[in-house]
Amino acid sequence: MRRDISGWNVRWAEAQAQQWVQEGKWLNRTLADAVREAAHDTPERVTQVCGGRSITAGEVWDNASRLAGALQAQGLQAGDVVAFQTPNWHEAVFID
């Protein structure tokens, strides 16, 4: 068991996790890590198309960062729970 960022105890098998990393089955990074990397390496790369509107990796990172800043300005901290409901629109990408 180990405590995650929200403070919950979760089952965690460190040896299994390390094996998966060594075998290349797990990259040991978050979705935010992947988006940040894509925005840095290829900011103009189109990652989604919604209703004929193309959305780039840089745009996803910029909008997600602005949303995170707005939530922090409201007092939310890492580990707080936030729920959202949107139609299947491009704005949902920024929330994930």
pLDDT in tens, 10-35: 888 989 999 999 999 999 888 889 99
Residue 50's nearest CA partner among 87, 89, 86 is: 89
- Does 62 or 32 have the greater pLDDT score? 62
* Structure-block tokens of residue 10: 């979760």
* Amino acid, single-letter form, for residue 3: R
Mean pLDDT of 2-12: 82
Q: Is the pLDDT of residue 5 over 80?
A: no
Task: Identify any residues that bridge with 55 across adjacent strands, giving them in sequence order.
Answer: 48
Give the chain's mean pLDDT: 90
Q: Given 3-state DSSP classes, what are the helix, strand and coil percentages for the chain, each rounded to the nearest 5?
A: 45, 15, 45
Return d(Cα 32, Cα 95) in angstroms, integer. 11
Q: At what angle do helices 57-73 and 31-41 cross, to 10 degrees?
A: 130
- What global pTM score does this model have? 0.73
